[in-house]
């Protein structure tokens, strides 16, 4: 059985998935119609922010991605820590299976991209774009299939999505060409030390943790993808239990953030990153090796990597399938792992130009791969769950 907190997390993420699909459709329609000039206002203008003598100018979409993605990763980090501390991620089926599955999916995606595109100058960072998995989209499909989907399968999908999301963002930060200077690293270290001291002192004020976390984000904002890691790093130090052991500051913050994040933050991220501008598209970009490499690395490479390494792990008894889940149901859920439109485009803003031909290649590949992954996962799961139901009826 999964906890009440996890059920609530899954419920809200399913809502976010439906809203994200509507947001992507709305953004695509807006960019292709007379609303394109208005829609471009959140993507093309450069917004400058000054901190004393420092002045940073970035496209509006980059600010949206950095701020909102940090909040999304904060919630993901809170859920991951809650599951660890409440021993929900304990055991071969709840921890090791999604952990090795996430590693298998990441390695397979990177290998296929590099195999198709090659490793020439300027090509290497592109493999990071194909690593992300959109948890909300996958959970939306699982929710459409109703109560027939085992709860353990939903819990597995949440775990592997969180591990993949955190891993892909960490890799995006690691492959950036410009590393932070020592002064930035020193300030970031001071923020982390303060968070650790507050946690050891059992400070219960959520506002204090969030304030220091915001300071950490501001220190790292010039580093691109590294800044969004301020979200899960802050979550790492928020206490699970208060001093009286009567409540959980971490769970309280997570449940308070879920409605806003799932109904506003995630859809806004999807809409801001959706849409193809004709001036940035061309036949060459659509047929470019990078586009094909990203498509194949998401579908079917990611699902094959997850399924393959999990199958080997189960056969070697290093891990186990979730309770009540067969290989067919597991395969259907794994196919959903190739969907990652918002995450892939978000990662693409840090390894390619935010707009233009490169951005359109990323959007096209991510949209096509997400559509194929969601459709194939849905039909495989529907078939597997129907057969399972028929077998139960026959036994009765």
Domain range annotation of the chain:
4-395
Reduced to 3 states, what is the DSSP secondary structure of residue 373?
A: helix
Share in percent of the chain as helix, strand, coil (round to 5) = 75, 5, 20
Q: Which two tokens stand for residue 324?
A: 């009540």
Residues 15, 20, 22: CA angle, nearest 5 degrees = 100
Helix pair 289-298, 301-315: axis angle to 10 deg? 30
> Can you give the pTM of this predicted structure?
0.86
Of the options 2.120.10.80, 1.20.1530.10, 1.10.490.20, 3.40.50.720, the CATH number for the domain spanning 4-395: 1.20.1530.10
Residues 49, 221, 200: CA angle, nearest 5 degrees = 130
Distance CA 62, CA 370 (A): 22
Segment-wise mean pLDDT, segments of 10 residues, the chain, 396 residues: 84 92 85 72 62 60 84 92 81 84 91 78 64 86 89 90 87 68 84 94 92 92 80 92 84 93 92 66 58 86 94 92 90 91 76 60 83 94 80 46
């Amino acid at each position: 059985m999964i906890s009440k907190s996890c059920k609530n997390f899954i419920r809200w993420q399913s809502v976010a998935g439906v809203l994200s699909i509507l947001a992507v459709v709305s953004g695509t329609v807006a960019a292709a119609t007379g609303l394109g000039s208005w829609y471009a206002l959140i993507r093309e203008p450069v917004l400058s922010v000054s901190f004393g003598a420092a002045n940073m100018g970035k496209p509006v979409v980059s600010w949206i991605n950095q701020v909102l993605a940090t909040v999304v990763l904060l919630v993901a980090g809170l859920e991951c820590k809650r599951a660890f501390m409440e021993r929900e991620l304990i055991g071969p089926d709840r921890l090791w299976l999604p952990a090795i599955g996430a590693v298998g999916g990441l390695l397979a995606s990177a290998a296929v991209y590099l195999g198709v595109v090659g490793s020439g100058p300027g090509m290497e960072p592109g493999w990071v774009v194909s690593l992300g998995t959109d948890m909300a989209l996958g959970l939306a499909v699982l929710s459409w299939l109703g109560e027939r989907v085992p709860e353990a399968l939903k819990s597995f999908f949440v775990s592997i999505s969180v591990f993949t999301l955190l891993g892909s963002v960490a890799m995006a930060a690691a492959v950036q060409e410009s590393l932070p200077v020592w002064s930035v690293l020193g300030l970031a270290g001071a923020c982390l030390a303060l968070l650790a001291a507050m946690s050891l002192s059992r400070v219960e004020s959520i506002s204090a943790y969030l304030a220091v976390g915001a300071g950490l984000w501001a220190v790292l904002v010039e580093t691109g993808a590294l800044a969004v890691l301020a979200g899960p790093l802050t979550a790492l130090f928020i206490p699970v239990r208060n001093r009286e052991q009567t409540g959980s500051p971490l769970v309280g913050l997570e449940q308070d953030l879920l409605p806003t994040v799932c109904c506003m933050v995630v859809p806004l991220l999807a809409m801001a990153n959706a849409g193809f501008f004709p001036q940035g598209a061309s036949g060459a970009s659509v047929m470019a090796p990078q586009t094909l490499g990203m498509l194949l690395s998401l579908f079917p490479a990611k699902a094959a990597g997850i399924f393959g390494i999990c199958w080997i792990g189960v056969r070697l008894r290093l891990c186990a399938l979730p309770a009540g889940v067969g290989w067919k149901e597991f395969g259907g859920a794994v196919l959903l792992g190739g969907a990652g439109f918002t995450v892939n485009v978000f990662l693409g803003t840090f390894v390619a130009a935010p707009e233009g031909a490169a951005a359109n290649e990323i959007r096209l590949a991510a949209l096509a791969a997400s559509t194929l992954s969601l459709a194939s996962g849905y039909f495989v799961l529907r078939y597997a769950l129907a057969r399972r139901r028929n077998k139960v009826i026959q036994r009765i």
